[in-house]
Structure 1
Amino acid sequence: MKRINLIAAIMVVCITAGCSQNRWQVRDSSPVDLDVSDSTPTSAVPVEDQTPYISLVSATDDLADENAAATAEPQVVHSVPAGMSLADFESLAYSNNPSIRELAATTQKAAGFRNQVGLKANPIVGYQATQLADRNTDQHVAFVEQEFVTGGKLELNRRVLNEAVRAQLLELEAQKLRVSTDIRVKFYEALAAQRRIQLISDFQSVTTKGIEVADSRIEAGEGTRIDTLQATVQKNEVDLALQQSQIQFDAAWRGLVALTGTSHMEPTTLIGELPRQMEAKDWAYLSSTIVNSSPEYSAAQTRVAQARAALQRHGVQATPNITVQFGAGVDNSTNNGMMNFQVGAPIPVFNKNQGNICAAQAEFCRASIEVQRIQKSIEARLAEVSRDYDSALAAVTKYGREILPNAAESLKLAEQAYEAGETSFVQVLVARRTYFDSNLQFVQAQSQLAQASSKVDGYVLTGGLDAVADNSGDDSLRGLTFSQQ
């Protein structure tokens, strides 16, 4: 009985040691805290326009006062203090956008797998009894067994999964840029709609006054029904443009709220300015810069490093692990103690991991080609953005320097000619409509320029709510390490 108690005591000590080791490993393998909600992607500062628009407001009671208003100096449109800026939307999106939160979770997941694949095998503690039916010849042994990994497999496992974590962090950075770009594009779309609403609202008073003037000319016997109809048509078109602009603003606002990942928010004034001018870009230089700096491209390169590490890992899989067993106990037939020692290793005769090595080589080839594909994809997207940017820049420059000044001067001359009786009222309406349309087209060009510039700043990454890929990996390498069969 004393001998059996001795064996039981040995097993308790071994189990206690194993549990202590396991508790240490759990503390060591806790997931890495990857708090990424407050970080922001690298991008250019949004452009601001300090140049005022030409006011379309006409607070006149006759055509002479309307002419004076049309030729007045441009008025500065001040930002409304209450409202939301671009930075407000971006801040909300970085904390609440579901795609960002999802990628942050997959990054934590990859970090957990990285820790798991590098853990050592747990020791095996057991008890063995032989010849129990043969009285006084029974043997009782307590043993400890441990498998020792060779070839640096555990370190190579960690290296493979460490590249997966790095790639996930870069994917997270790329997703933040996608969200930021989409936020900026929608913001400038909504800001342009808001600006059009302001312009149209200002011009409504002019069209209303035009109808009144046309009616008064008919009463005075100087005008015709055509003048009234033309003025009415112009006012109806302006009213329709206001309605459509309001619809565009509401839709863009809903898009902004969706991108932030927040619940419903009531529309409010947007604080910001549309660009009036920008510099031309060297697209050849910018193409190489964006490709080399893009987190999307860097993530693809990291996947190549991960595939290379995986190929190296599979290359040492056939190196046999060594299993060592040590036991101690008593032999009742001799009334003496006894010790056993055992060493074993699998012989890689049939399974030399040749299939996984072949697959790893193919994956390395695929990952290398994927880098080339992403590079060409970035270049193709940048080509489209360069077209939009240059076209919008040409329009903004042309409207700002020539078309808007000429439209304002044309309106001024038409109203002066009408006052002098040298032209009809219809010509005044035409000049007003040209001036009005030119201002709306200018706003549209500004919006397109701001959106194209936002895409360039965001490394031509879009899709802030698209499905994200989970490339966090798994812990299969650890199972492969200890199977070897």
Structure 2
Amino acid sequence: MNTQRVLVAAVVSAFVLARSAAAGTITADPATPHAVELPTAIALALDHHPALRAAAEEVAATEADVQQAGRRPNPELAWLREGHRAGNRTTTLQLNQPIELGGKRAARVAVAEGALAVAGGEQQDRRQAVRADVIAAYYAALGARERQQLAQATFELAGRGLDAVALRVAAGKVSPIDADKARLAQADARLEQARADGELAIALARLQALTGQAVAPKDDAAPLPDLGPLPAAQVAATEGPAVRQARRQLALQQAHVKLARANRLPDVTFTVGSQRDDQLAGRQAVLGLAVPLPLFDRNSGNVAAAQARTRQAEAGLQAAELAARAETTAAWLRYRQARDEALALEHDVVAVARSIYESTLRGFEFGKFDYLDVLDAQRTWFGARARRLQATQDAWQAHAALQRLAPIEEIRP
């Protein structure tokens, strides 16, 4: 059974080495990435990301809508002739000016300004979302690089263990089966190293897609910060992007209600002009006032629709506040749990597991332990390091989620 496992591991290792030789080293970008700190990566993304440029164009468009909404209606110049025979014709030249009543212009401007507030808020929210994406991608790349270093160290230690077993097999002190086990452990470590190389390439590609440049995180990671008590985070969530945008939508719908009500009052048209009658051989002034009669259309349907959408926006605001509190609570709890686990593993487990492994390996070299004890100590040590790394990654991902939900101070490693 052990021989079969060794053969399988050898075949898989040979396949991986052949693929690596054929494909070359996995890289995320042809250019050599340069190491940057997190604030620099965030600044690059905010300057580069096309979603932010699109949001800026939407703001510019809504600013133009505000200007257009404040324009008054244009006058109308009309020319009218009655009769075709000379001496029996009446010619009228008149200027018609629509006059808006009921505060329509002010209500129209308020609606446009509400849309501008929504567009501006969307731009701010996208900036916060991009910033959170960069934080997540930055620490994902940093974690992938640490995972690659861990895999490299595992492979090197597996080689060290294989050398130690080979010496004891040559001395006839242990069975050749232990050498097969050591080769199998080394083959597993080689596969894990190849997987870690691929994950690092993917993580760097994501970070570079956000920043628009070939960048990589610096080696020194920021310590996991203390986010303070949960109630404070929940209060901050009420000023988060989703809640702010829901408030802007409510204000916009309320402006639509005012506009719909203003449109119930019909506009009048004032007419001034001059009329010439050939029979009278003279001109006379023309004055007129046209007032629509709201007999059939009082804009009641638009008013009811605007009121219904306002109630919908009120419910949406309540839902956004509840969701923000719930999601913030979940992210805060995930962060605290992952942070506490990472700190505990770093201070209480990893160092002890490493000491046990080194003592076990030295004891094996002197014949005090079996190689299975060495493998078990090695797995314990690297398992603890992998758990610490995963807990750190989980903490940073939860922190990035909080960045999307609530305005939190920028991290500066």
Asked if Structure 1 and Structure 2 have the same fold, meaning a TM-score greater than 0.5 normalized by the shorter chain, the answer is yes
Secondary structure (helix, strand or coil) at the match of 1:304 reads helix
* 1:254 shift after superposition: 2.7
2:102 aligned residue: 151
Secondary structure (helix, strand or coil) at the match of 1:151 reads coil
Contact 1:86 1:187 (C-alpha < 8 Å) held by counterparts = yes
1:296 aligned residue: 242
1:287 aligned residue: 234
CA–CA distance in structure 1, aligned partners of residues 289 and 386 of structure 2: 85
Distance 1:409 1:212, change over 3 A: closer
2:69 aligned residue: 117
CA–CA distance in structure 1, aligned partners of residues 314 and 143 of structure 2: 43
CA–CA distance in structure 1, aligned partners of residues 116 and 192 of structure 2: 51
* 1:325 shift after superposition: 1.1
1:476 aligned residue: none
1:239 aligns with 2:198: no
What are the equivalent positions in structure 2 for 1:255-334 lying under 5 Å apart? 255-260=206-211, 262=212, 269-279=216-226, 281-291=228-238, 293-334=239-280
Deviation track 1:313-352 (CA, whole Å, cap 9, x = no partner) reads: 2122222312111112433323323221111111222211
Deviation track 1:359-399 (CA, whole Å, cap 9, x = no partner) reads: 11111100000001111221232233123212211211211
1:90 aligns with 2:42: yes
Secondary structure (helix, strand or coil) at the match of 2:405 reads coil
Secondary structure (helix, strand or coil) at the match of 1:204 reads helix
Q: Mean Cα displacement is larger for which, 329-338 or 172-181?
A: 329-338
1:129 aligned residue: 81
**One-letter code of the match for 1:182?**
D
CA–CA distance in structure 2, aligned partners of residues 219 and 361 of structure 1: 89
Contact 1:301 1:371 (C-alpha < 8 Å) held by counterparts = yes
1:66 aligned residue: none
CA–CA distance in structure 2, aligned partners of residues 116 and 309 of structure 1: 17
Deviation track 1:117-176 (CA, whole Å, cap 9, x = no partner) reads: 33211111122222332x323233322111111111011110012111101111221122
CA–CA distance in structure 1, aligned partners of residues 177 and 221 of structure 2: 38
Q: Mean Cα displacement is larger for which, 442-451 or 384-393?
A: 384-393
* 1:212 shift after superposition: 1.8
1:457 aligns with 2:403: yes
2:318 aligned residue: 372
Contact 1:276 1:396 (C-alpha < 8 Å) held by counterparts = no
CA–CA distance in structure 2, aligned partners of residues 365 and 96 of structure 1: 38
* 1:111 shift after superposition: 2.4
1:343 aligns with 2:289: yes
Deviation track 1:174-208 (CA, whole Å, cap 9, x = no partner) reads: 12222221222122112111111123223433221
Secondary structure (helix, strand or coil) at the match of 1:83 reads strand
1:72 aligned residue: none
1:389 aligns with 2:335: yes
1:425 aligns with 2:376: no
- Sequence identity percentage: 20
Query: What TM-score do the two structures reach when normalised by structure 2?
Result: 0.84
Contact 2:241 2:404 (C-alpha < 8 Å) held by counterparts = no
**One-letter code of the match for 1:110?**
T
**One-letter code of the match for 1:352?**
R
CA–CA distance in structure 2, aligned partners of residues 220 and 99 of structure 1: 67
1:408 aligned residue: 354
* 1:419 shift after superposition: 4.8
* 1:431 shift after superposition: 1.8
1:59 aligned residue: none
CA–CA distance in structure 1, aligned partners of residues 298 and 277 of structure 2: 42
**One-letter code of the match for 2:84?**
L
What stretches of structure 1 of length at least 5 have no aligned partner? 1-79, 462-485
Contact 1:275 1:450 (C-alpha < 8 Å) held by counterparts = no
Contact 1:156 1:309 (C-alpha < 8 Å) held by counterparts = yes
Contact 2:241 2:406 (C-alpha < 8 Å) held by counterparts = no
Match for 1:441 among 387, 395, 398?
387
CA–CA distance in structure 1, aligned partners of residues 274 and 406 of structure 2: 68
**One-letter code of the match for 2:111?**
V
CA–CA distance in structure 2, aligned partners of residues 288 and 312 of structure 1: 32
Contact 2:89 2:278 (C-alpha < 8 Å) held by counterparts = yes
**One-letter code of the match for 1:282?**
P
Contact 1:193 1:248 (C-alpha < 8 Å) held by counterparts = yes
CA RMSD of aligned residues (A): 2.4
1:101 aligns with 2:48: no
Distance 1:277 1:301, change over 3 A: closer
**One-letter code of the match for 2:370?**
S
What are the equivalent positions in structure 2 for 1:170-189 lying under 5 Å apart? 170-189=121-140
* 1:416 shift after superposition: 4.3
Q: Mean Cα displacement is larger for which, 414-423 or 227-236?
A: 414-423
Contact 1:234 1:433 (C-alpha < 8 Å) held by counterparts = no
1:18 aligned residue: none
CA–CA distance in structure 2, aligned partners of residues 277 and 254 of structure 1: 24
Contact 1:381 1:460 (C-alpha < 8 Å) held by counterparts = no
CA–CA distance in structure 2, aligned partners of residues 88 and 375 of structure 1: 32
CA–CA distance in structure 1, aligned partners of residues 210 and 51 of structure 2: 9
1:225 aligns with 2:176: yes
CA–CA distance in structure 1, aligned partners of residues 363 and 132 of structure 2: 49
* 1:99 shift after superposition: 2.8
Contact 1:414 1:431 (C-alpha < 8 Å) held by counterparts = yes
CA–CA distance in structure 2, aligned partners of residues 128 and 138 of structure 1: 10
**One-letter code of the match for 2:83?**
Q
Contact 1:106 1:168 (C-alpha < 8 Å) held by counterparts = yes
Contact 1:86 1:272 (C-alpha < 8 Å) held by counterparts = no
What stretches of structure 2 of length at least 5 have no aligned partner? 1-31, 408-413
More helix as a share of residues: 2
Contact 2:137 2:207 (C-alpha < 8 Å) held by counterparts = yes
